[in-house]
Structure 1
Amino acid sequence: MAGFPDGGRDAVDVLRELLGAAGRRPLTEPPLWPSDVADDATPVEFSVAFDESGDRAVRILGETIAENPGPAANIEAAKRFLAHMAQWFDLRLDRFAAVEDLFLVDRPQGKFTLWFSVILRPGRAPALKVYFNPLVRGQGAARGLVAEGLRRLGLSDAYDTVAEHALLRGSADQFSFFALDLDDGPLSRVKLYISHDSADSGTVERAAGAVEGVDPLLVRDFLTTAGGGPGPYAGRPLISSYSFVEADAGRPGNYSLYLPIRDYVPDDAVAREHVLAHFARSGLPGAELDRAIAAVTGRPAAAGVGLIAHVSLRLGRFGSGTTVYLSSEAYAVQAPRGRVSASATF
């Protein structure tokens, strides 16, 4: 579906570099580090983006693990990975340098410090994105940290836009990721992610309203079809994200909603049914979804839950579509749950 252009670096080489010591560890041994990328501590997750335009992309999200892992050692390993990628590809590191002292601290808090995603599209060199943790200095410091990061990147007005639409319920709405595209194109983005604990459709419809031209009813339809109802979603939180580019003076160009579908279905067979129902409503090819699933696992879908970890809806002028996130389940498969009623789910 996607990959490097002819003559470019092989995706396997990049994945090997990304995973560091974890990539060299036999799967017969336990995880080297309790990575939060996947539920079973696998430090990698795959996803396939289905654009309404017909374009496709494969994304690899990963955490770089040091030989002797620990918060400081993993940060240094991640920075070495980034330096290698800068030698291989045309990356923009000035924005990373502008904010790294905010997010890369000696005693990080939270479940991660630095993640990367590698985006592969046909006929293009790979793109790289970096994820920082806004909670790295504690929850109380997160909003100030994000505001300062935006200021340094020339996007001071972006914070007020996000606060007005997505930070309305106190501690129930909090920043979860601060991400940067590392390419030098005109649409190189800064992305903010906000987790919404126990949110319903109304919460994320208001959040989507920050983006000009986005119909919040599409968010409601997505939750109804893929999630099974309007909520509230009391398990893993719904997540909103906004994409900003410098030329837009703090107005987001895209909104995305991430549904952690694995918390709201009994097994992956049901998750697949929900995603395919959304695909059918959106005119997306269900057969390609099944090809992606088959590339990751051969197990029966009803034999576990969590293979289909998230599904997201993207809306806006930078491109609309749906992305499906697949766990490799390298270390464990979570057992299916009993059938749940709508009232138990929501």
Structure 2
Amino acid sequence: MRAVSVNEFTGAQLRRLCAAIGLAHRAEEAQAVLADVLGPTGTRSLAEPPPWGSDIADDHSPVEYSVAFEEDGSHTLRLLVEAGAYKPGPRANLAAALAALDRLADRYPVALDKLDRVRDLFLPDDPQGLFALWFSIVVRGDRPPMVKIYLNPLVRGADRADELVATGLDRLGFTGSFDWISRHTPRGEAGLDQFSFFALDLEETEAARVKLYQSHYRAGARDAQLAAGATEAADTDRIAEFTSMVGGDGPFLSRPLVSSHTFLASDSARPKGYSLYVPVRDYVHDDAEALTRVRAMLTRYGVDDSALRRAVRAVTDRDLESGVGLLAHVSLRMGPPRPGVTVYLSAEAYEVAPRGASAPRARPDPRGDAQDPGSTTSGCWKEEGAPTTCR
């Protein structure tokens, strides 16, 4: 029997997911956009090993799905995607991502002004770290997809991450924001609170966001509450409750808790919104337990969980007790522009992690290596004219 390609596998998942959450009329367009961004990776057979150790998913699948449960009862589908190159490597992958961005700009009204202001900071000729540019394709019911990009603060080395973030915020009009965030992350000097993503919504609307993400290593709910204090809209009591319901009591010694602060307008140094991401997959025995926890959380917050159950079955038909990692993260979004809950689902294109499996404990590297200390990715690559390099 012929092995299916990455495009065929993820395309089938995407069609079922769209149907599961009321976006069937967007499925064909979303599938085409996903295949375009994946590029050469999408045409490869799943009988072959992944060509690149993508850090998007534990099994190196280059795509992850997420379903956002909005306060008005609607749902939004998001695709986190890494563009692929014919001969993968840090420089080749960045070139492939920029080419994919050009194609998206030809297809949709993509606004590049924010990226242009920080391009020289985050997109160097010789990128370091696990990635340089990832895409989030936001599939909505009443409008064309929205493009969001993730940039890597570690792309010039961990010792320059603060500089890149501070300069990037200043250039985008948020002068003073870096100092404000730093005052609410007191463990930063110890290397336990580290910037992990600098994200931009590429659209010209009042709701277009700049988002700054931090990973909180060896943290508990109290550390997330301190980070959330930078945002007026954050409810610290709900943050503690959410963390406990989804991930347990902590401290979180495997994959870290992640915070993001949302900036909407340059009239204030303070962020307008806050989100907390709990890596549920590392703190449960299997996906059945993860689903039980997430459903209980949705019920607690008055959200109908039927769409979640349909979405899970759209991605996989396996026994949820047979593995772990399908439900990867769960986030609580507070404040404007879109408060609610988001559940992140792994494609599991290459592999299903056995039940009881979890990542090694995250240990930030005091030497300040460019390697993301929370990552469990390993892999090698060889660019033309260069020696083989391994993570």
Q: Same fold (TM over 0.5)?
A: yes
Q: Which residue of 236, 239, 243 maps to 1:219?
A: 239
Check conservation: 1:110, 1:136, Cα contact below 8 A.
Answer: yes
Q: Which residue of 94, 109, 114 maps to 1:90?
A: 109
Superposition pairs of residues 1-346 of structure 1, within 5 angstroms: 1=21, 3=23, 10-170=29-189, 171-229=191-249, 231-337=250-356
1:7-59, Cα deviation, whole Å (9 max, x unpaired): x9711110001111111111111111110000001000000000122121000
How far has the Cα of 1:168 moved from its partner? Answer: 3.3
- For 1:232, the aligned partner's letter is P
How far has the Cα of 1:107 moved from its partner? Answer: 2.4
Equivalent-residue separation in structure 1 for 2:143 and 2:245 (angstroms): 33
SS at 1:206 equivalent? helix
SS at 2:51 equivalent? coil
TM-score normalised by the chain length of structure 1: 0.94
How far has the Cα of 1:178 moved from its partner? Answer: 0.3
SS at 1:325 equivalent? strand
SS at 1:156 equivalent? coil
2:11 aligns to what? none
Equivalent-residue separation in structure 2 for 1:184 and 1:199 (angstroms): 36
- For 1:205, the aligned partner's letter is Q
* Larger RCO of the pair (alpha carbons < 8 Å, separation 6+): 2
Equivalent-residue separation in structure 1 for 2:282 and 2:64 (angstroms): 17
- For 2:112, the aligned partner's letter is L
- For 1:186, the aligned partner's letter is E
Check conservation: 1:75, 1:113, Cα contact below 8 A.
Answer: yes
| Count of matched residue positions in the alignment of Structure 1 and Structure 2 | 337
How far has the Cα of 1:159 moved from its partner? Answer: 0.8
- For 1:245, the aligned partner's letter is L
How far has the Cα of 1:213 moved from its partner? Answer: 3.3
Equivalent-residue separation in structure 2 for 1:5 and 1:317 (angstroms): 27
Equivalent-residue separation in structure 1 for 2:109 and 2:131 (angstroms): 26
State the Cα RMSD in Å. Answer: 1.7
- Aligned identity (percent) is 47
Equivalent-residue separation in structure 1 for 2:279 and 2:302 (angstroms): 22
SS at 2:114 equivalent? helix
Equivalent-residue separation in structure 2 for 1:2 and 1:307 (angstroms): 21
Check conservation: 1:193, 1:240, Cα contact below 8 A.
Answer: yes
How far has the Cα of 1:251 moved from its partner? Answer: 1.8
How far has the Cα of 1:93 moved from its partner? Answer: 0.4
Equivalent-residue separation in structure 2 for 1:120 and 1:209 (angstroms): 31
Equivalent-residue separation in structure 2 for 1:282 and 1:177 (angstroms): 28
SS at 1:131 equivalent? strand
Equivalent-residue separation in structure 1 for 2:302 and 2:141 (angstroms): 21
Structure 1 spans left out of the alignment, 5+ residues: 340-346
TM-score normalised by the chain length of structure 2: 0.83
Structure 2 spans left out of the alignment, 5+ residues: 1-20, 359-391
